[in-house]
Amino acid sequence: MESRALVLLLVPLASLFLLLGSTSAQLSVNYYSKTCPNAEEIVRKEMIQILSVAPSLAGPFLRLHFHDCFVGGCDGSVLLDSTPGNKAEKKALPNLTLRGFGSVERVKAKLEKACPNTVSCADVLALMARDAVWLSKGPTWPVSLGRRDGRVSYANETNQLPPPQADLTQLIQMFSVKGLDLKDLVVLSGAHTIGTAHCSSISDRLYNFTGHDNLSDVDPFLEKHYLAKLRSTCSPTDTKTIIEMDPGSYKTFDTSYFNYVAKRRSAFHSDWALLTDNFTRAYILKHANGFESEFFQDFAESMIKMGNVDVLTGSQGEIRKKCSIVN
């Protein structure tokens, strides 16, 4: 995979510089050029090794970055452990299915050995997410660096995360407060192409959609054959089984997710909700039929925007030595 051309897939340089320049002036793609010049190379090397053994972790690495940025900004707070008297984000219900924490610590330890007290955990998440996509045959993009790590993590703040049951109005509002628009919403939802979901996150669509709690109380917007397949895999009380959100190619970053949504075979209700708006529906239907390079460009641009949400810079926060605890 390393031999594959490192191309910023069709992302115009002018667009990239505009996006990169719109964030804090203290973030820079060259931030570690003097203090840790091999930082990105170290992360990439570790990611190649990790994903060669466990390719299914690509989606979880991307999800970690998303969950970090949507709760209080991209500050690595999702990585912090709970402390006496405080329940951290990772112990909140929406985050109980997050994976990859050990791999983050592995990458951070390598960076600490090479450049002590230099590279933040927030930057590690941003770089790992980018490399997870690229190593899954998706696009790459320049990551602005220089984020600082937050010192607090509160479970109750995870209500900022869009739930899988959300309707379009709720999704738009939750993305908007993060500075992300309707296009970012549908584009970033495309990350589900390498995603997985626990049965517990979709059981209401299969068995208890309106609260009647019986076998006929299903989400009417689920395609009937896909519904039957999900039911054959997920029982009403199943909390452990994992399903592929892009069956057959969930280890490859591509546009096939949009094809499933267009056919009403999306696992999350929030994915189906994207068909209820003219713009997001048109985007899904177009990319269900290909146009992969355009989606890759859009995804790179939206990831740059998301990665710059409410970052800490300068003297704010700290550079954690270990990602799970504050210094």
Look-up of token digits 């738009």: 172
Q: Is 67 a catalytic residue?
A: yes
Residue 254 labelled as part of a binding site: yes
For residues 43 and 176, give the distance between their C-alpha atoms in angstroms, rounded to a whole number: 31
Please choose, from the candidates 303, 309, 300, 262, the residue with its C-alpha nearest in 3D space to the C-alpha of residue 283: 262
71 close to 158: Cβ distance less than 8 angstroms: yes
Q: How far is CA 51 from CA 44, 56, 269, 309, 310, in A?
A: 10, 7, 29, 27, 29
Is residue 81 marked as binding?
A: no
| Residue 131, annotated as binding a ligand | no
156 burial class (0-12, 13-18, 19+ CB within 10 angstroms)?
A: exposed
246 is an annotated ligand-binding site residue: yes
Q: Is 193 annotated as a binding residue?
A: yes
Q: Is 298 annotated as a binding residue?
A: no
Biggest CA pair distance of the chain: 62
Q: 211-228 burial, b for 16+ CB within 10 Å, e for fewer? A: eeeeeeebbeebeeebbe
CA 270 – CA 172 distance, rounded (Å)? 11
- Of 67, 198, 269, 287, which is the active-site residue? 67
Bridging pattern class, strands 242-244 and 196-198: antiparallel
- Binding residue per annotation — 314? no
Q: DSSP state, 198? A: E
For residue 196, say whether it is annotated as part of any ligand binding site.
Answer: no
Which of 301, 15, 258 lies closest to 139 in space, CA to CA?
301
Which residues fall within 8 angstroms of residue 229, CB to CB, at 6 or more apart?
A: none
Contact 185, 270 (CB under 8 A): no
Tell me: is residue 71 an annotated ligand-binding position.
yes
> How far apart (Å, rounded) are the C-alpha atoms in residues 210 and 93?
21
Nearest 5 degrees, angle CA 53-CA 58-CA 59?
140
| Ligand-binding site membership of 89 (annotated) | yes
Residue ranges of the binding site:
68, 71, 73, 75, 77, 89, 162, 192-193, 246, 254
Residue ranges of the binding site for heme b:
192
State the catalytic residues: 67
Residue ranges of the binding site for Ca(2+):
68, 71, 73, 75, 77, 89, 193, 246, 254
Residue ranges of the binding site for substrate:
162
